A and B are shown apart, each in its own frame.
Chain A
């Protein structure tokens, strides 16, 4: 008999046969015998769930041994829909739950003085006392003026969904629910909305051949990172070229075909420079510009679109040589100057071309620090690789084929002119015609909200504490997270006719996380604060009452997921443990408060509205546990096709999209051809909003709005002024550009600072941050590795440890923005590093409300 060792080992009875065959397998035999005995002593179970460490919502498979969370693996069934693996935060997520620094009981402050240097004097109280105290205050506010309650969540949105808090606030009567997007990527969303009527896009990586990445860091951490990481890596192996454009060499740049170290804030100049080259070389998709965008519309005096008596925009018909609305008979001109009724006008595209007259590769070299030859080469490569005019047939559909994509996340967004930076990126892609094309960028829910094509209402006085969509931030459609506490510091200054009295923070550490962070804490001192969280973050240190939350491994939720161009899925999160036997999470806290406020049924009605529950609504008159709630949501979302037992067993259900779904339901369906709305190559609504701002400022004698600055931000086309944020113009004596970035091992909410794996096991460099400085710069300044440096901006100074690198521009320094925790309830080991946010200048994008993180300038010297 011939038997291979491998075959032999396959047999469960192999060990018993070892002696009989005379084979010597002493080590394995002993071990296997032990393994069998151990298996009997250990009960292993696996649970499919969803990670909630960040906004990727990776599918996970949680391994329990004897009721202890033993390990977390990726859910392999999720690989074909989203994540192949999980990041170190997700892998070590059990320490998000098993963390002795967790809040284990409701806490009440005894020291009335609030400050980062103050001990709150916490005393434990019962849940009943906590709920009674909070509910009593809420009752008074509800009776007096419900707007005086502010609910703020950041990560909380992803722990229980924002629709429960939204339903609560609606039932309560406050408009003041504030999420975090303006400290993340809101400017990118708003640019999308102004341009194509909704937000969110992804490069069609599967078919893309050239990816230009402006500062997106999907190899470390941001939305869609756990799909972009493996999909771009696979695509590179089949030949896709990746060019990363950013001042600091991120992990993305470290693995790219080309890293182009651009000077901070100058991305828009490079994009305009490339556009100029593309136009000069005639490497543009004119058919796309004409049939999908408003590039042909005629622009008259003061930048306004010419319209006929029916308010339809006019184009110049090259056939009849007249100005007419776009129709089947009309051949719109893209260029030229025309006279209508004695007044000159130009197509929007011509306006754009004229606006580029000062821009050239040499200009880009001078201001953005990129060789003119590189600008020229990159533009031509982009234009040629776009294969303008090409098409492919997929599933019987002839589709436009433009295998180039421009991608960004915070790189173009976290700037004073974030909207204009990404508008420049979108316009560049309109020139290439790659939008919703095979291999281009794929838009999400095109023209879902036509109202985004209209001017802002430019509200005054502001209704909301964050000034959203008011005269201050007219197109801030994603709240203005960092503005709340600034307004709180002086509500009258902003024209509010009420002053909030209470803030509830759910799983957010906002004041710690934004620019000019120290200023944020002033606003926290003015209200009664309730914090719901798992650890005592900096925000919690300013609370009057702290309520402990369950972690993502201890609670139920219909989890958000991330679609891709070719897939979508629905998922749940389910509890696997309750480490400190806590009775409540964010969901049940809201439910209890609603009951105590006597508004449970109003809350339920609002839940049904916000979640759009039709077939499986919540019924008034009864309570729902978190599990019951998630069951309703799951059934509604899956249309009852998969019962809840399926969700509990598998954690998710996925769907593959057809090529029709991916490529033909976006701009093809909504914008292509005459008699349809068009993508806003030219964003006229910004001009209209600006005019309203002017009128409102004049009418109400508002003093603190600089109309000249607003006029720059509200340009209908991106231009060179958008490459010069305030500190670049004003802080001339501060020679270095200061940028921030995200590392894989931390988030800003505080709990990751307490994770021993992330901070002790991953290497000696993860428990604190440092200032990245170019080696040649360091040599000039006699700075050595590990020296303590002072980073001084116009706001103040911080110390940081020097890390010398070739991977950053010589005129730039970079510090990651999620270290240097200040909470006095954290151990020293978790407080290491530099809190760079405290010295970042605050110059928000006044269009979107986005915080600027990458516009500051600084001095750097040895401490």
Chain B
């Protein structure tokens, strides 16, 4: 089986937010509904203080509570596919925000309204890319919930091209946030590949999942460095 996971090494992260910028450029940022955020907090008191930087995106849980609740109310807008990616179908989403309420990681974001990136100005060529030329995850709609897709539009290209082994390696098949990190604090790949970089990194650096007590079994692992999360 293929199980795609992300590893975020907080010991290496320098808090630059390039991953956040990359996510939002790649996925047609909706103002007010970020898919990737940076949590910064100080640990200690002056002068014995440091900052913890934690980037947070969808955990693509193996047992995603967002999907459970969505299925429970028979909306079925949330799916988890065979590569482990949790996706929201905007056409099915009714904007009830139950997923928003149950996610322990605060991931789902409600798209209040569609607006130009430059209010009061004409849309840029980037914003003017027609819906029919956009991936369904980028056909933004007001009144629905959206979130990180592991850059599914790239992953499915890898599948279509029969190049799933290049996921996590080639830029066109790898989530953008994982491509741009200046300090190599992020990895993406197949956890089932026991000799692969992701599996080895998790073992070597003792990466763990956040909020395991919720039983969601996230597919995002963190190399933590102390402090609260």
Q: How far is the CA of A805 from the CA of B50 in the complex (A)?
A: 11
Residue of B nearest to A805 (CB): B42
- Across the interface, B182 reaches (CB within 8 A) one of A65, A87, A754, namely A87
List of B residues within 8 angstroms of A71 by Cβ: 22, 25-26, 176
List of A residues within 8 angstroms of B171 by Cβ: 46, 61, 63, 73, 76
Question: B71 in the interface, Cβ–Cβ < 8 Å?
Answer: no
The answer to whether B51 touches A74 (Cβ under 8 A) is: no
8 Å CB interface, B148-164 against A: 152-153, 156-157, 159-164
Question: A732 in the interface, Cβ–Cβ < 8 Å?
Answer: no
Q: Chain B, 176-191, contact with A by CB distance < 8 Å: what is the 0/1 string?
A: 1001111111000010
The answer to whether B180 touches A86 (Cβ under 8 A) is: yes
The answer to whether A776 touches B16 (Cβ under 8 A) is: no
List of A residues within 8 angstroms of B125 by Cβ: 68-69, 98, 577, 579
The answer to whether B46 touches A5 (Cβ under 8 A) is: no
* Stretch from A32-40, A278-286, A626-634 at the B interface: A32-40
The answer to whether B122 touches A100 (Cβ under 8 A) is: yes
Question: B193 in the interface, Cβ–Cβ < 8 Å?
Answer: yes
Q: How far is the CA of A613 from the CA of B108 in the complex (A)?
A: 58
Residue of A nearest to B225 (CB): A255
- Across the interface, A41 reaches (CB within 8 A) one of B119, B132, B184, namely B132
8 Å CB interface, B34-54 against A: 34, 37-38, 42, 44-47, 49-51, 53
* Stretch from A225-233, A375-383, A524-532 at the B interface: A225-233
The answer to whether A11 touches B180 (Cβ under 8 A) is: no
* Stretch from B76-84, B99-107, B208-216 at the A interface: B76-84
List of B residues within 8 angstroms of A31 by Cβ: 81, 152, 156, 159
The answer to whether A762 touches B20 (Cβ under 8 A) is: yes
The answer to whether A88 touches B21 (Cβ under 8 A) is: yes
The verdict on A807 contacting B164 (CB below 8 Å), with A5-B2, A87-B16, A756-B118 known, is no
The answer to whether A760 touches B29 (Cβ under 8 A) is: yes
The answer to whether A744 touches B160 (Cβ under 8 A) is: no
Q: How far is the CA of A70 from the CA of B128 in the complex (A)?
A: 11
In the assembled complex, how far is the CB of residue A199 from the closest CB belonging to chain B, in whole angstroms? 25
Q: Chain B, 123-149, contact with A by CB distance < 8 Å: what is the 0/1 string?
A: 011101100110110000000000000
Q: How far is the CA of A808 from the CA of B34 in the complex (A)?
A: 30
Question: A14 in the interface, Cβ–Cβ < 8 Å?
Answer: yes
Question: A116 in the interface, Cβ–Cβ < 8 Å?
Answer: no
The answer to whether A11 touches B162 (Cβ under 8 A) is: yes
Q: Chain A, 225-257, contact with B by CB distance < 8 Å: what is the 0/1 string?
A: 010011001000100000000000101001100
Question: B94 in the interface, Cβ–Cβ < 8 Å?
Answer: no
Question: A806 in the interface, Cβ–Cβ < 8 Å?
Answer: yes
8 Å CB interface, A1-38 against B: 4-6, 9-15, 25, 27-28, 31-36, 38
The answer to whether A259 touches B47 (Cβ under 8 A) is: yes
The answer to whether B190 touches A32 (Cβ under 8 A) is: no
The verdict on A230 contacting B184 (CB below 8 Å), with A88-B16, A88-B20, A94-B25 known, is yes
List of A residues within 8 angstroms of B190 by Cβ: 6
Question: B197 in the interface, Cβ–Cβ < 8 Å?
Answer: no
The answer to whether B18 touches A88 (Cβ under 8 A) is: yes
Residue of A nearest to B50 (CB): A254
In the assembled complex, how far is the CB of residue B50 from the closest CB belonging to chain A, in whole angstroms? 5
List of A residues within 8 angstroms of B87 by Cβ: 27
Which applies to chain A's interface (DSSP): helix, strand, loop or mixed?
mixed
Q: How far is the CA of A237 from the CA of B11 in the complex (A)?
A: 9
Q: Categorize the interface residue count of chain B.
A: 35 or more
The verdict on A10 contacting B162 (CB below 8 Å), with A42-B133, A88-B16, A259-B50 known, is yes
The answer to whether B24 touches A761 (Cβ under 8 A) is: yes
- Across the interface, B21 reaches (CB within 8 A) one of A33, A66, A92, A251, namely A92
In the assembled complex, how far is the CB of residue A758 from the closest CB belonging to chain B, in whole angstroms? 7
Q: How far is the CA of A83 from the CA of B180 in the complex (A)?
A: 10
Question: B74 in the interface, Cβ–Cβ < 8 Å?
Answer: no
List of B residues within 8 angstroms of A806 by Cβ: 42, 44-46, 49
In the assembled complex, how far is the CB of residue B135 from the closest CB belonging to chain A, in whole angstroms? 7
Q: Chain B, 13-35, contact with A by CB distance < 8 Å: what is the 0/1 string?
A: 01111101110111001010010
Question: A734 in the interface, Cβ–Cβ < 8 Å?
Answer: no
The answer to whether B165 touches A6 (Cβ under 8 A) is: yes
8 Å CB interface, A725-781 against B: 744-745, 754, 756-758, 760-763, 766, 774-776
- Across the interface, B129 reaches (CB within 8 A) one of A13, A15, A68, A254, namely A68
Residue of A nearest to B164 (CB): A9
In the assembled complex, how far is the CB of residue A769 from the closest CB belonging to chain B, in whole angstroms? 15
Q: How far is the CA of A114 from the CA of B110 in the complex (A)?
A: 46
Residue of A nearest to B135 (CB): A38
Between A and B, how many residue pairs show CB distances below 8 Å? 231
The answer to whether B180 touches A91 (Cβ under 8 A) is: yes
The answer to whether B25 touches A757 (Cβ under 8 A) is: yes
Q: How far is the CA of A27 from the CA of B122 in the complex (A)?
A: 36
- Across the interface, B179 reaches (CB within 8 A) one of A12, A74, A761, A808, namely A74
List of A residues within 8 angstroms of B73 by Cβ: none
List of B residues within 8 angstroms of A32 by Cβ: 156, 159-160
The verdict on A758 contacting B50 (CB below 8 Å), with A34-B136, A35-B159, A39-B157 known, is no
List of A residues within 8 angstroms of B172 by Cβ: 44
Question: A215 in the interface, Cβ–Cβ < 8 Å?
Answer: no
The answer to whether B21 touches A28 (Cβ under 8 A) is: no
8 Å CB interface, A560-579 against B: 577, 579
Q: How far is the CA of A25 from the CA of B85 in the complex (A)?
A: 13
Question: A131 in the interface, Cβ–Cβ < 8 Å?
Answer: no
The answer to whether A255 touches B156 (Cβ under 8 A) is: no
List of B residues within 8 angstroms of A666 by Cβ: none
Q: How far is the CA of A761 from the CA of B159 in the complex (A)?
A: 30
Q: How far is the CA of A14 from the CA of B156 in the complex (A)?
A: 13
8 Å CB interface, A390-407 against B: none
The answer to whether A74 touches B24 (Cβ under 8 A) is: no
List of B residues within 8 angstroms of A72 by Cβ: 25
- Across the interface, A35 reaches (CB within 8 A) one of B51, B79, B157, namely B157
- Across the interface, B126 reaches (CB within 8 A) one of A70, A254, A255, namely A70
The answer to whether A10 touches B42 (Cβ under 8 A) is: no
Question: A611 in the interface, Cβ–Cβ < 8 Å?
Answer: no
Q: How far is the CA of A623 from the CA of B133 in the complex (A)?
A: 41
Question: A220 in the interface, Cβ–Cβ < 8 Å?
Answer: yes
List of A residues within 8 angstroms of B81 by Cβ: 27-28, 31
The answer to whether A5 touches B1 (Cβ under 8 A) is: yes
The verdict on A14 contacting B183 (CB below 8 Å), with A94-B25, A806-B45 known, is no
Residue of B nearest to A218 (CB): B14
The answer to whether B183 touches A10 (Cβ under 8 A) is: no
Q: How far is the CA of A230 from the CA of B16 in the complex (A)?
A: 12
Q: How far is the CA of A44 from the CA of B154 in the complex (A)?
A: 12
Question: A326 in the interface, Cβ–Cβ < 8 Å?
Answer: no
Residue of A nearest to B174 (CB): A73
The answer to whether B133 touches A100 (Cβ under 8 A) is: no
Which of B120, B183, B193 has the most chain A CB atoms inside 10 A of its CB?
A: B183
Which of A12, A34, A85, A98 has the most chain B CB atoms inside 10 A of its CB?
A: A85
The verdict on A233 contacting B51 (CB below 8 Å), with A101-B118, A806-B44 known, is no
The answer to whether B183 touches A233 (Cβ under 8 A) is: yes
List of B residues within 8 angstroms of A579 by Cβ: 124-125
Q: How far is the CA of A638 from the CA of B190 in the complex (A)?
A: 41
The answer to whether A229 touches B183 (Cβ under 8 A) is: yes
6 contacts between A and B (CB under 8 A): A11-B162, A31-B81, A91-B18, A249-B49, A254-B51, A261-B47
5 smallest CB-CB distances across A and B, nearest first, come from: A12-B162, A85-B182, A254-B51, A88-B21, A98-B124
Interface residues of chain A, those whose CB is within 8 Å of chain B, are 4-6, 9-15, 25, 27-28, 31-36, 38-39, 41-42, 44, 46, 61, 63, 65-66, 68-74, 76, 83-88, 90-92, 94-95, 98-101, 219-220, 226, 229-230, 233, 237, 249, 251, 254-255, 259-261, 577, 579, 744-745, 754, 756-758, 760-763, 766, 774-776, 805-810, 827, 829
What 18 additional pairs, Cβ within 8 angstroms, besides A15-B160, A84-B184, A805-B42?
A5-B82, A12-B160, A12-B162, A14-B162, A27-B79, A27-B87, A28-B159, A34-B156, A69-B125, A85-B180, A88-B18, A100-B121, A220-B16, A230-B182, A259-B50, A760-B117, A775-B45, A806-B49
